[in-house]
Structure 1
């Protein structure tokens, strides 16, 4: 039971901060917030992603390229140029490293503003930090695992952030239905997207990339949108006007 709770908790917390902070805030500026709350989100992203922490600026710049060149040869992670999801993941890792290097080169940053916290970026991206979180995951499993097969879940913990991205990029551009013709292969993989917190409404998202609600039709429920509305109501964030 403890292993299941830990796995589900890590899955959804990591995914939440990936879609809320890295995707909707850092990449698309769906909302604004204070510097203090941005730092809170930054730190929580590092803690919840753990060993697979993704540099926010690098994530945002790579994601902007994905939208600009969706499903073309310049797309950093279109599934239509790879034989399987593992090749896609590896190519995305290499591209992401290029974007991380660009975050350190002020001449290559451009004029757009992205969230940055250099000390957290350095710590979160370090081998020491990734090994520390990996050791914590292993220690938890050694304490609470009751069957050998539970240890097979550990690689998912180690690669949680990139794995979430691979699922969205692979499925969201190959399987499902389309509400709009976006001149790409973006799809809404499923009309009910709770397991990926709305990220698999890719066709809707590519049509309206700056919308806080990834759902469009009445049955397409984006579970993050009510949270965004609530935080807007509390004034912790401010939704950008359309």
Structure 2
């Protein structure tokens, strides 16, 4: 039981860090926060993502490139450019590493207003850090696993962020339904998205990239939107406005 609780906690905490801090805040600037809170969420993201931690700055640049060049050869992660999901995941990793280590020239328009904590990111993205987390995960499984089949979850735990990215970036560009006609393949993968905390409303997101609420129709529940509203009321973050749940799409 401990393994499954740990897996579920890591799944959602890691995913929350991705969608709240790296995606909605870093990439799209859907809200603002103080530098103190920004550093807090750097650390929170590192702790919750562990061995699959991604620099919010590098993630934001890569994601902005994705929106600017969706489904073209300049898109850092599109099923249109890969023969299978594993090839896309490897291509995403390569694009991320190039941006992280400044091995590719990035236009200035993609680097504005980014969270940046260089010293912390260098440590968090280091081989030592990743191996430390992997060792910790393996030790946890050794202590708490009650059946050998539970070790099948270990590779997912180690590369949790890659699995989250693959679900949205591959499947939400191939399967689902469409609320908005766009010049790309982005679709809404799930009708009620509890599994991906709103991230699977990909068609909605490509239509309104900076919207803090990824849901558009009455049944499209975005759990993180309500957490954002709470953090706004607590003055942890600041929203320019709080959008009402959309109910006008038939």
TM bin (shorter chain): over 0.9
Aligned to 2:228: 228
Q: Is residue 200 of structure 1 aligned with residue 182 of structure 2?
A: no
Partner Cα separation in structure 2 for residue 61 and residue 108 of structure 1: 8
- 1:25-104 equivalence runs, <5 A: 25-102=25-102
Question: Normalising by the residue count of structure 2, what TM-score does the alignment of the two structures yield?
Answer: 0.93
State the shift of 1:227 in Å.
0.4
Partner Cα separation in structure 1 for residue 162 and residue 38 of structure 2: 22
SS at match of 1:237: coil
Partner Cα separation in structure 1 for residue 226 and residue 219 of structure 2: 15
Aligned to 2:122: 122
Q: How far does the alpha carbon of each residue in 1:45-101 deviate from its partner, in whole angstroms, 9 at most, with x for none?
A: 011110111011110000000000111121111112212111110011111111112
Provide the alpha-carbon RMSD of the alignment. Answer: 1.5
Structure 1 moving runs of 4+ over 2 Å: 107-111
Aligned to 1:150: 150
Question: Normalising by the residue count of structure 1, what TM-score does the alignment of the two structures yield?
Answer: 0.96
Partner Cα separation in structure 2 for residue 177 and residue 152 of structure 1: 31
Partner Cα separation in structure 2 for residue 108 and residue 194 of structure 1: 34
**Structure 1, unaligned runs of 5 or more:** none
State the shift of 1:108 in Å.
5.1
Aligned residues: 240
Q: Is residue 219 of structure 1 aligned with residue 219 of structure 2?
A: yes
State the shift of 1:118 in Å.
1.4
SS at match of 2:238: strand
Q: Is residue 14 of structure 1 aligned with residue 14 of structure 2?
A: yes
Aligned to 1:240: 240
SS at match of 2:181: coil
State the shift of 1:109 in Å.
6.9
**Structure 2, unaligned runs of 5 or more:** 244-250
State the shift of 1:237 in Å.
0.5
SS at match of 2:32: strand
